[in-house]
Amino acid sequence: MWYPKYLLQSHVALFSGASGLAGAFSGLLAYGIGFMNGDGRLEGWSWIFILEGLATMLFASIATFVMVDYPSTAKFLTVEERSFVIARRLGGGA
């Protein structure tokens, strides 16, 4: 969440690598959903957009309440952890 500059590059690389895996998984998911052709009087490609769109909206609505903007507002951190993260952020950038 709150990375100093020296850790940021490795986390961005991990995120980029995970996006490749997500692309592979979404292809398999779309292949399986494509067999729903004709269910509910909708074509298979329609089901792909509907189901993946609903999943995106679900995760986005959950993330709206779970994600924290700043370490000072994070309720899951103790006082010591909060002060450590703030000091690390100020000292290391990012």
Residues comprising the chain, all counted? 94
pLDDT in tens, 26-49: 889 999 998 988 888 999 899 999
Number of Cα atoms under 13 Å in the Cβ half of residue 46: 8
Tokens representing 33?
């959903």
> For the chain, which residues make up each domain, given as ranges?
5-91
Say which residue, 89 or 55, is predicted with more confidence: 55
Look up the pTM and report it.
Answer: 0.64
